[in-house]
Structure 1
């Protein structure tokens, strides 16, 4: 499983503004971001 997992995935906080989350998604070339509390 370790071979296919991303080691340090991009993520955002629940209060991250949408434009910032969109920039993060674009920068990391991903279609979704995990939302984390900490």
Structure 2
């Protein structure tokens, strides 16, 4: 029981990290495309 719970929380933390990185990446991509649009 305890083992399953810790494993579940680890997965949740990994998922949160992944989401954070994804948001950063999307934000960066948005800024880059915005700069390209302005320069054109």
TM range (shorter): 0.3 to 0.5
Structure-1-length-normalised TM-score: 0.34
Which is richer in helix?
2
Structure-2-length-normalised TM-score: 0.33
Structure exhibiting the larger radius of gyration computed from Cα positions: 2
